Each structure stands twice: as C-alpha cells, then as structure tokens.
C-alpha cells in the first residue's frame, strides 16, 4: 500500500507537527510504501491556491494530511485521512474571513475525509462541536514522543535557576510569566519569536533572559536538559507536547 503524507510548508527549525510524524512515518514505512509531499507555500489565504495546484494530481492508496493544511484534501481523488491538531484559530476569530476559513479547514475537508484523527479528547470535542456529523469517523490517537527524549533526572539546580518558557503566542502567557518573576533572581530562556511589546517588557523589567527560535529538535532537547524549571502555563492546547517532553 502506498501512503502519501501531505505537510504544510515548514517554518525553519523545530515544528511540533513535523516532529510528530518524523516519529511515526519510519514505523509505517516498515510495512508500507510512504511518500512525503510538502506544500510549496505557507498555509495562508494567498497560499491556498498554489498549494492546491501543487498537490491536486498526487495519487496514492491513502493520502494523509498531517495538519494545518486540511484544505489540501478538498478535491483529493484518493482516500483521505486528516489529522487535526487543534482548531484554536477557528474558535478564536469571529470575522467574515473566518467563516471562509472554517469551510476550507474544517467543513469541506473533514466531510470529504474517510477518517479523521484527533490528537486528544479536547480536539475531538472541538471537532464535534463544530461538525458533529463527522463524529462517527473521528478517532483519538494521542501524539507520540520522539525517541530523542530520555528521562534525565536533575542532579542539581543552577546557582541562578534557569526557567525555560515554551512558546510566545498570546495564549502561552509569556507576559504574565515575566511579570510574575520580574523581581526574582532567575534566568529566563524563551523558545519562540518575541514580539516588540514582549521585548519592551523584558527590557523594562531588566530580566536576565535568552531568546531562541528556529532551533532543531536536538537543540530544543538540549534546552530542556539545561533548564531547572519548565514554564508552560498555556491557556489553550490541542495536546500540549511540552508536558510530556
């Protein structure tokens, strides 16, 4: 059986969706023929049509859309599986554009799919709330953990405790973390691109910090090993990989 995996255009460095399937695909490939297709453009409204044209003629016994590019399956002529990681962007926005995006990312592709995979019960509930008619073909399969991660007990704390904060999007709560520890003798390592207001707040609080983005998964793992404390007070997650990592 030939299984083709469709990926979004990857940003540089660590991306959780790609790392999840980097763990899965070699296992599937031991018994089936696998192929990877990456969309040429970012998953924005302007990138939809070029990505459609690039993937439309691809054929396989099964096409598996791995996430954040569900619209690629709207006109697929092969049996389709879609993995849904979360629907945060759909739920958060109430604009007219969001109605169009809801059809592109949820209603159209998920109705077309032979099977829908949700990575958590939370994501399954989101799908059911938005599109209850696909409940019968939705299965929860939790994300795997990369074999790179090994249990590593902390032998001693750094003299100045190092806090590793994962993510800089609004729902990752970085601003509240900065305010909470502003008068503490700690070093903050932030994983993700900082916005101008976040940088300004860090400067105003004289926080000792380092900022990293575009890292490889190995480099992210090394930051975990270096840290004394992991900061992940997220307001929303489809799954929340850092909890396991």
Q: Per-residue pLDDT tens for 111-163?
A: 999 999 999 999 999 999 999 999 999 999 998 888 888 888 888 889 999 99
pLDDT of residue 12: 57
Numbers of helices and strands, H then E, in the chain? 10, 10
Share of the chain above pLDDT 90, in %: 56
Order across the sheet with 80-84: list the strands: 33-38, 2-7, 62-65, 80-84, 115-118, 138-140
Tokens of 164: 């590793």
pLDDT one-digit tens code per residue, 29-54 = 999 999 999 999 988 778 888 998 88
* Cα–Cα distances in angstroms (integers) from residue 182 to residues 12, 73, 191, 203, in the given order: 31, 47, 18, 11
Q: In the block, which residue shows the tokens 């599986």?
A: 81
d(CA 107, CA 215): 34
Indicate the range of 17-26, 70-79, 84-93, 192-201 predicted with least confidence: 84-93
Q: Mean pLDDT over all residues of the chain?
A: 89
DSSP H helices in the chain: 16-28, 45-55, 88-92, 96-102, 108-112, 121-130, 174-181, 196-204, 217-226, 241-244
pTM: 0.83
* Cβ contact 123:240 at 8 Å: no
- Alpha-carbon 33 to chain mean position: 25
Non-local (6+) Cβ contacts of 163 within 8 A are: 177, 181, 186, 187, 188, 189, 227, 228, 229, 230, 231
pLDDT of residue 186: 95
Rounded average pLDDT over 77-95 = 81
pLDDT of residue 98: 74
Q: Three-class SS of residue 7?
A: strand
Share of the chain above pLDDT 70, in %: 95
d(CA 189, CA 181): 13
């Amino acid at each position: 059986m030939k299984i083709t995996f469709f990926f979004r255009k990857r940003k540089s460095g660590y991306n959780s969706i790609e790392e999840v399937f980097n763990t899965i695909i070699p296992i599937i490939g031991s018994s089936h023929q696998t192929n990877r297709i990456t969309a040429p453009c970012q998953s924005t409204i302007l990138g939809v049509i070029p990505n459609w044209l690039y993937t439309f003629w691809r054929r396989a016994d099964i096409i598996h859309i791995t996430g954040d590019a569900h619209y690629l399956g709207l006109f697929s002529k092969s049996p389709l599986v879609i993995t849904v990681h979360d629907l945060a962007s759909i739920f958060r926005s109430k604009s007219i554009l969001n109605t169009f995006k809801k059809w592109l990312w949820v209603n159209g592709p998920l109705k077309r799919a032979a099977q829908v995979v949700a990575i958590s019960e939370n994501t399954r509930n989101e799908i059911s709330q938005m599109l209850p008619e696909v409940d019968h073909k939705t299965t929860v399969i939790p994300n795997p953990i990369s074999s790179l991660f090994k249990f590593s007990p902390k032998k001693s704390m750094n003299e100045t405790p190092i806090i590793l904060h994962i993510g800089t999007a609004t729902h990752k709560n970085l601003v509240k973390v900065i305010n909470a520890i502003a008068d503490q003798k700690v070093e903050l390592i932030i994983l993700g691109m900082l916005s101008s207001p976040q940088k300004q707040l860090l400067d105003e609080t004289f926080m000792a910090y380092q900022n990293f983005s575009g890292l490889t998964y190995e480099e992210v793992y090394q930051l975990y090993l270096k840290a004394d404390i992991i900061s992940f007070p997220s307001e929303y997650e489809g799954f929340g990989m850092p909890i396991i990592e």
